[in-house]
Amino acid sequence: MKIQADVGNPFRETPAGAHQRRFETGIRRALAMLTVLLILPLVAILGHLLIEAWPALRWSLLWESPRNGMKDGGLWPALVGTLYLVGLSLAAATPVGVAAAVYLHEYARDSWLNRVIQMAVINLAGVPSIVHALFGLGAFVYAARLGYSVLAASLTLAVMTLPVIITSTREALAAVPMSFREACWNVGATRWQTLRAVVLPNALPGILTGVILQVSRAAGETAPILFTGAVFYKSVQSGDIFAYRLDEQCMALAMHLYTLATQVPGVRPALPAATAITLLGVVVFVNAAAILVRTRTRSHRRW
């Protein structure tokens, strides 16, 4: 009778199945705990910054210029300078990075030279920012005779972030199924027509991922712009969005935060914290815009 009862319930959980289920539950809980442990430091840092910066957080902080030896006033020159640097570096690095990735993935043959270039791109992504700063100083400030300027600093940031864009674009191109290309070639489309009409539109979300990473890094770097175009202080008119020319130096939020924290005596603790919150806000805003574009383009994908 016992054997018949067992046969009559073929879906009863076996001891091995119960053990496996308990193991999966334990793994899920451990991963959830690790996720919480990763989020807690971020929440703690943001909470500390908000509490510290609360006395200085006001709308005029964004529109006013520093005064009283940078102990009072706002962040307008540094905010505009950061937008200049990020925007120009993005405009310089994105076309070059996407074009290089398209050539390496779609046109270049699988040769030793191509593999060497790929290895060089990967290694370039790990070069410290101070090395990029010295390269920008020699290549753009002295060799190209751009001087200490917004343009030299932006090009240095572009070179620093170029490997990220190349790598992410190549991965995005590789994710597009080869059957898409073959279908276009079978109806007589050229390689460029296939890239323009099929491959690049489907790879655009992945390309934007690299752009998002580029924006975050470019906005927060200090060493490259310190050697090539950032200045301790520059007087500009409050609210003037065209505060800098390309051939002159500029202030930047990352540099300004370093200056307030280390070089300005007697500064209120709330002001550096408010500068850090503003820098984070700029990065989040630009990233959110890029993520919105990526989400809209991804919704039009057909695979």
C-alpha to C-alpha distance for 257 and 67, rounded to whole angstroms = 15
Domain assignment present for 260: yes
Q: What six digits make up the tokens of 222?
A: 């200090």
Concatenated DSSP letters of 78-120: HHHHHHHHHHHHHHHHHHHHHHHHHIIIIIS-SSHHHHHHHHH
Domain-located, residue 1: no
Report residue 62 as tokens.
């964004």
What is the reported pLDDT for 96?
A: 93
CA distance from start to end of the chain = 54
Q: State the CB neighbour count (10 A cutoff) for residue 220.
A: 18
**279 assigned to some structural domain:** yes
At residue 251, the 3 state secondary structure works out as: coil
Are 20 and 100 contained in the same domain? no
Q: Is 201 found in the same domain as 215?
A: yes
| Residue 12 dihedral angles phi and psi, to the nearest 5° | -65, 140
Q: Are residues 37 and 151 in the same domain?
A: no
In a domain, 81, yes or no: yes
Q: Are residues 216 and 145 in the same domain?
A: yes
Is 236 a member of any domain?
A: yes
27 Cβ contact list (under 8 Å, min separation 6)? none
What CATH number does the domain containing 248 carry?
1.10.3720.10
Same domain, 73 and 38: no
Contact indicator for 73, 56 with CB cutoff of 8 Å: no
Q: How far is 296 from 75, CA to CA, in rounded Å?
A: 33
Name 72's bridge partners.
Answer: 67
Confidence at residue 154, expressed as pLDDT on a 0 to 100 scale: 94
- Whether residue 5 is contained in a domain is answered as no
Specify whether 165 is located in the same domain as 240: yes
Q: Are 171 and 121 in contact (CB under 8 A)?
A: no
Does 127 share its domain with 158?
yes
Range of the domain at 209: 60-298
Phi, psi of 287 (to 5 degrees): -65, -40
Residues 205 and 293 in one domain: yes
CB 204 within 8 A of CB 297: yes
For residue 201, tell me if it sits in a domain.
yes
Same domain? 51 vs 74: no
In the chain, the number of structural domains is 2
On whether both 34 and 163 belong to a single domain, the answer is no
CA angle 215-216-218, nearest 5°?
65
Q: What stretches in the chain show pLDDT beneath 70?
A: 1-9, 11, 297-303
Q: Does a structural domain hold residue 2?
A: no
> HSE (CB half, 13 Å, CA atoms) of 47?
6
Collect all residues with Cβ–Cβ distance below 8 Å to 229 and sequence separation of at least 6. Answer: 85, 148, 149, 150, 151, 152, 153, 154, 156, 249, 250
Output b/e per residue, 126-138; b: 16+ Cβ within 10 A.
Answer: eeebeebbebbbe
Task: Give residue 302's pLDDT.
Answer: 57
Domain boundary among 26, 56, 86: 56
Is residue 164 located within the same domain as residue 98? yes
Cβ atoms < 10 Å from Cβ of 32: 10
Looking at the structure, tell me whether residues 156 and 287 fall in a common domain.
Answer: yes
- Exposure of 115 by Cβ count < 10 A (0-12 exposed, 13-18 middle, 19+ buried)? exposed
pTM: predicted TM-score of the whole model, two decimal places: 0.82
